[in-house]
Amino acid sequence: MTQIATVERILDSGHAEISVPRKSACGHDCEECAGCGVTGAAVRARAANPIGAAPGQKVVVESSTKKMLRIVALVYLTPVALFFAGYLAALAAGAGVAVQYGAAGLGFLLGILAAVAYDRRLRARGGLSFTIVRLF
């Protein structure tokens, strides 16, 4: 996966801190919708800097698509899968409707907690690995 980023500062001889604009589904055409009031937030990350980019330069960065898809699957699919698993388990056990909904909600909550725990573990290990491939 490639993205455009800005080099914020040099960390050491081989790494830089970059600022990657966060993408969203809305497209930020605020004149048309005027709904959310969200501005394009940026994510700061550490990137390998083999080309020697300097602070302030726009660069093209590359990250592992496989790792990104794993994160997306965990964050979005796990809570939904556990929601249905909780509901179906309670249904198979012959529980009442209130217990089925409670089990579904508990499954969803467990999925959210798993996603948060994974996010914290990923950040402790350095997050996604970016590599600066060229100047923009």
pTM: 0.59
Task: Tell me how many domains the chain contains.
Answer: 1
At residue 40 the predicted structure's pLDDT band, cuts being 50, 70 and 90, is low
At residue 84 the predicted structure's pLDDT band, cuts being 50, 70 and 90, is very high
Segments forming the whole domain that contains residue 32? 2-135
| H or E stretch covering 31 | helix 30-33
Give residue 63's region: left, alpha or beta (phi > 0; psi -120 to 50): beta
Tell me which of 9-18, 43-52, 103-112, 116-125 is least confident. 116-125
pLDDT of residue 99: 95
